[in-house]
Every structure is written in structure tokens, then in C-alpha cells.
């Protein structure tokens, strides 16, 4: 995990975030950079970094990296 990406704290509703990111976990497995991040993680970190550089504010992204069972909200 890079210095920019912070996982969504447990118990925090995704409604309090600026962006809800939905993705297939299989798409984030292959490393795409020297940090070993998958492309989805790399995208999240780059988006947060560029947003902070542009606005001076933190972009809160709901980016769930835990497994969710089928049919569970």
C-alpha cells in the first residue's frame, strides 16, 4: 500500500466518501509497478495523489479490499 491509499475504516459508511469504487478482485492481482500494486490499487493511489495536488484536499474513496461473500451488502 502506498503512502496515499488509506483503507476505509471499519464501520465507516460508504455514504460518507466522495467516491465508491467497485472492481473485480481478479483485476487487481497482477503487479503493475515497483511497489507490487495491482492496477486498481495503483489507480486509487494516483487519483488520490492528483486530487490532493489539484485541490489541497483528501479524496475519500471507499475501496474495499476485503472479501465480500456473494449476496452480502
Q: Where are the domains of the chain?
A: 15-62
Q: For residue range 18-58, what is the model confidence (pLDDT) as tens digits?
A: 999 999 989 999 999 999 999 999 999 999 999 999 999 99
What is the C-alpha to C-alpha distance for residues 1 and 52, in angstroms, rounded to an integer? 17
Phi, psi values for residue 11, rounded to 5°: 85, -5
> What pLDDT does 48 receive?
96
> What pLDDT does 36 receive?
95
Cell of 58: 483528501
pTM: 0.70
The yes-or-no verdict on residue 11 having pLDDT over 50 is no
> What pLDDT does 16 receive?
85
What is the C-alpha to C-alpha distance for residues 64 and 17, in angstroms, rounded to an integer? 12
Amino acid at each position: 500500500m502506498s503512502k496515499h491509499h488509506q483503507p476505509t475504516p471499519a464501520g465507516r459508511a460508504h455514504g460518507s466518501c466522495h467516491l465508491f469504487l467497485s472492481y473485480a478482485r481478479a483485476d487487481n492481482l497482477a503487479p503493475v509497478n515497483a511497489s507490487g500494486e495491482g492496477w486498481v490499487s495503483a489507480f486509487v493511489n494516483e487519483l488520490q495523489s492528483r486530487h490532493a495536488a489539484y485541490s489541497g484536499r483528501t479524496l475519500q474513496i471507499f475501496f474495499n479490499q476485503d472479501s465480500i461473500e456473494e449476496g452480502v451488502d
